[in-house]
Amino acid sequence: MTPEDLKADLSERLGQRVSELFTREGNPVVEMTDLYQPSPAGFGGQLRLRDGSRMAWELWLEDGESWNFHASPVVG
């Protein structure tokens, strides 16, 4: 999976187009390892939607087989 693939997946999950991906610290994502977290195993960071709004998101593997997803608006 590439960052572009992930943007498409997150766009589908949110029902809105994701225009940019950022690390948890707000830096632009270059490769998937920028978003990986070992525990719980998964990915997370920030994203910008096409409308300009920004969200924090987490995508983690539970029970070794199902992916859980959570996103919330970034305030400020």
Going 59 to 72 to 50 to 12, the CA torsion angle's sign is positive
* pTM summary value: 0.89
pLDDT tens digit at each of 76 positions of the chain: 899 999 999 999 999 999 999 999 999 999 999 999 887 789 999 999 999 999 999 999 888 788 899 999 998 6
Q: Are 16 and 23 in contact (CB under 8 A)?
A: no
Structure tokens that stand for 3 in this block: 């960052």
